[in-house]
Amino acid sequence: MRWPLQFFVACAFWNMLGAGVFGFLINPPIALFYIQGLNTTPLHAHAALFGVYGFLALGFG
């Protein structure tokens, strides 16, 4: 049970980082005005997707 629990902890961390921190970074109106289309949008998307589906699938697998 050690590895699945570690994957679930990693899932929570990447969700907080990808969806929380990077999602907040790209969503304020001033950020949308100045940095729309830069690498911050794919950074948010890939980090959140990796946290949600990557580590969740590894934890349940």
> What does the pLDDT read at residue 41?
86
What is the overall mean pLDDT for the chain? 89
Per-residue pLDDT band for 38 (boundaries 50, 70, 90) equals confident
> What does the pLDDT read at residue 27?
87
Average the pLDDT over each of 5-9, 20-24, 34-38 and give the range with the smallest value: 34-38
pTM for the model: 0.77
Domain total of the chain: 1
What is the spatial distance between Cα 18 and Cα 24, in angstroms, rounded to a whole number? 9
Which residues contact residue 7 at a Cβ distance below 8 angstroms, ignoring those fewer than 6 apart? Answer: 55, 56, 58, 59
> Mean pLDDT across the stretch 23-49?
87
Domain range enclosing 7: 2-60
